[in-house]
Amino acid sequence: MRITSLAIAVALACGFTSLSAQTRAGSGNPVSTSLRHQWDNAKKNLTQSADIMSEADYGFRPVDSVRTFGQIIAHVAGANYLFCAASKGEKTPHAEDEFEKNAKTKADIVKALNDSLVYCDGQFTALDDVSGAEMVTMPFGLPKEPRAGALTMNIAHLNEHYGNLVTYFRIKGIVPPSSRPAK
């Protein structure tokens, strides 16, 4: 009887542990699901930043040695293509500095940003944990890394420059998107 009770207890414990792991993993692709969530948050912060800053303040820079607000957004747009093209295993359709050099109005810069986000969205949507582990050639002459590494670098890059933008907003007396109350 004791052995039967012990066997049932072990089986139940294993079942609950397995069920708990499945619930935490959700789709069975916990890494790619997490990357998509982080991408969506970074993307939201950048698009909201691009939208709420006035056209006149796209030329704002706290000191002469840093990029203007608009140049940061334009730079991010170009870099999105670079990282996501690496993830796709293809040549980037736009140079990293193309928009920073050529997009001068808020409308042009916002369009470049939005188009670059759409280009990247496809990679994040198609990503699963298996494809995320496939090796790809990285930008900047870096050694090959898993596809998820290129996408992680892109998320980190967006967050890095969002941090710049937060400072610009605060200097202008504007509450940045991530600090605004949830609607």
Domains of the chain by range and CATH?
29-177 (1.20.120.450)
Taking the C-alpha atoms of residue 75 and residue 50, their distance in angstroms, rounded to an integer, is: 12
How much is the mean pLDDT over the chain?
88
Q: Say if residue 35's pLDDT is above 80.
A: yes
Range name among 11-15, 133-137, 150-154, 166-170 with the lowest pLDDT average: 11-15
Region 114-139: mean pLDDT is 95
pTM given for the model: 0.83
What is residue 8's predicted lDDT score, i.e. its pLDDT? Answer: 37
For residue 84, which of 139, 162, 142, 129 has the smallest C-alpha distance? 139
Q: What is the pLDDT of residues 158-168, one digit of tens each?
A: 999 999 999 99
